[in-house]
Amino acid sequence: MERQKPSMDNSPKKDLSKYKNSFFFFDADDEDLIVPMRNPKFGYTLNFAKPLAYIFLLIVLLVLILITRLLA
């Protein structure tokens, strides 16, 4: 019985036409909120077709503002 080698493909499994400027991902049919960037070496991005992505960004910004106000 022959063993299969694990795939070393790190490319995103998403439709590359859904990426705008290699950073913004828009696909309302995709259920994932966090998706790999077009170049996976750069990490992940949000699916901006989902309203939850904007809520997540707002919460992150509010936390950052709160931290900077507390440290000032």
Concatenated DSSP letters of 8-56: ---S--S-GGGEETTTEE--TT---SEEE-SSGGG-EEEBTTSHHHHHH
pLDDT value at residue 23: 83
Average pLDDT over every residue of 1-16:
59
Confirm if 38 and 11 have CB atoms less than 8 A apart.
no
At 9-56, the pLDDT tens digits run 555 567 888 989 878 999 999 999 999 988 888 899 999 999 999 999
Confirm if 29 and 20 have CB atoms less than 8 A apart.
no
Report the C-alpha gap between 39 and 11 in whole angstroms: 7
